[in-house]
Amino acid sequence: MMIKKLPRNTQGRDWVVGDIHGCFSQLSRLLKIIAFDPARDRLLSVGDLVDRGPDSHMAGEWLAQPWFHAVRGNHEQMALDAMRNPQADQERHLRNGGRWLADLGPAERDACLAALSHLPLALEIDVEGGKIGVVHADCPDNDWTTLAAKLEADNPSERDYDVLLWARDRALNGGGGTVAGVDLMLVGHTPQPHAVLYDNVMHLDTGAVYGGRLTLFCLHDFVEVSLPASFECLARFQLH
């Protein structure tokens, strides 16, 4: 499944979290702050659950929760590539904070990779009065309807993959045009000093693993809640 469509949440709230990068203890504290109710609320992720932070090995446990929904980020893709083709791709993953995966036992590694391999490239959420999309980096050609059709047909192009997982132009340029077919799109990938809206795209990576903040955004009332990085989440890696 390359796109996952979620029905409207009529019982509770939907929250979207920026790039986690293994800072799951920080995320747990944030969920306590917002009084997250797993029986009614849902947590959506813009991807990059793993690498660089201290608790990357916990990604599989979080993905097993029925209230947690994530898209694939470039770091999940690097982890999968490293295990599928270690001779060509493992060094790149290790260089980008992937040592945790190499250090896991075989059974735990296989379970984590299985969870990552099932991550869709996009989430589409029905909300009152519209539609919200979630991808890791950006939407190809600013056209959600065409993207969704390609993902449903399981035939995205290599360029689509590149834009969905790696694009930074919108974040670096302060805009890139409105994405048609959704009312709001949420992304991560490129750290920002704070959550910022360019066009109709909300950027939620606020650099938690680099000593910034971990940010949550509520789809029901557009409330933003963030928590400064804790000491154990500080990383000494160059951004890639």
Q: Catalytic residues, which ones?
A: 75
Residue in 175, 179, 168 with CA at minimum distance from that of residue 19? 168
From edge to edge, which strands make up the β-sheet containing 14-17?
68-70, 42-45, 14-17, 213-218, 224-228
Distance between CA atoms of residues 237 and 52, nearest Å:
7
Element housing 100 (H / E): helix 99-103
Instruction: Indicate the residue type of 98.
Output: G
Contacts of 32 (CB under 8 A, 6+ apart): none
Residues ≥6 apart with Cβ < 8 Å to 65:
38
Q: Within 13 Å of residue 190, how many CA atoms lie on the same side as its CB? A: 22
HSE toward the beta carbon, residue 71, CA cutoff 13 A = 32
Q: How far apart are CA 110 and CA 73, in angstroms?
A: 19
Strands 130-134 and 122-127: antiparallel
